[in-house]
Amino acid sequence: MTLVQENDQSTPDLEAVKSKQQGAWASGDYAVVGTTLQIVGEQLCETIDLRPGAKVLDVAAGNGNATLAAARRFCDVTSSDYVQALLDKGQERAQAEHLSIAFQKADAEDLPYDDDSFDAVLSTFGVMFTPNQPKAAAELLRVCRSGGKIALANWTPEGFIGQVFKAIGAHIRPAPGVVSPALWGTRARIEELFGDHARSIELVPRQFPFRYLSADHFLEIFRTYYGPVHKAFLALDDDGKKALESDLRAVLDRFNVATDGTLVAPADYVEVIISKA
């Protein structure tokens, strides 16, 4: 979840960043937030016209939104993440629906699969957070067969979640030299990472509306269960906590379109559809 100033030319310790990130995503209980995003995985599978029988890999799968969506379409699905607890949550969901899915702990920057193994490689708000972005992109390309599709859902820098991350970054100093994950929501970065190996790249603008009982409810859920926000508050003293909460409330006020006391915050993201050459 690391954000960084774009003009920082320091050489980052990417393994240290990855270890810290892994601890953040393993804290709290991301599944509480993740399950609300299920529609994103369903829409992504529809966008690429995912066909029954396709061999599919979900990378940085979290608790399995895209995983389950692909399995519901009778695909041969492997779900991977580097946080075992999240894979366990996905497996519980699969068992409840009697879906046959392979779950495997795996690092998105070093996938344990052969070249050209999958017809489709998916990731919803997952692989965008890898600290070594070129390496992660290369791995997605490597395991996808020629003519296959890499399909991603990525938050945008100026959208709601991008601004939530920006608010956090103002209080928790980003790791020096690490490129912002929100750039995965821009055409320029996607073409930089994938363009040399793509037949085509399509970016489809989408919105996901975060719906909570109130701004207070959103803050309670994210502060308790969403690892990066949970860790940010733990890292700050009392004054820092108050300042971060104030900044997050300002973001919520700016994006909330509800007028009845609830929170409805439309969050911009893009579906990135890459056809591998």
| 70-128 pLDDT tens trace | 999 999 999 999 999 999 999 999 999 999 999 999 999 999 999 999 999 999 999 99
Give pTM, 2 decimals.
Answer: 0.92
Over residues 18-28, the pLDDT tens digits come to 777 777 777 77
Overall average pLDDT of the 3-10 stretch: 41
In the chain, domain spans:
14-158+174-209+267-276
Over residues 197-226, the pLDDT tens digits come to 999 999 999 999 999 999 999 999 999 999
47: Cβ contacts below 8 Å, ≥ 6 apart = 151, 204, 271, 273
User: Which one is predicted more confidently, 194 or 23?
Assistant: 194
Mean pLDDT of the chain: 93
pLDDT for residue 12 is more than 80: no
Under CATH, which number does the domain 14-158+174-209+267-276 receive? Answer: 3.40.50.150
pLDDT band of 5, cuts 50, 70, 90: very low
41: Cβ contacts below 8 Å, ≥ 6 apart = 65, 66, 67, 68, 69, 70, 122, 124, 153
Q: First vs last Cα of the chain: how many Å apart?
A: 30
pLDDT for residue 248 is more than 60: yes
Pairing of strands 198-212, 263-276: antiparallel
Write down the pLDDT at residue 4. 37
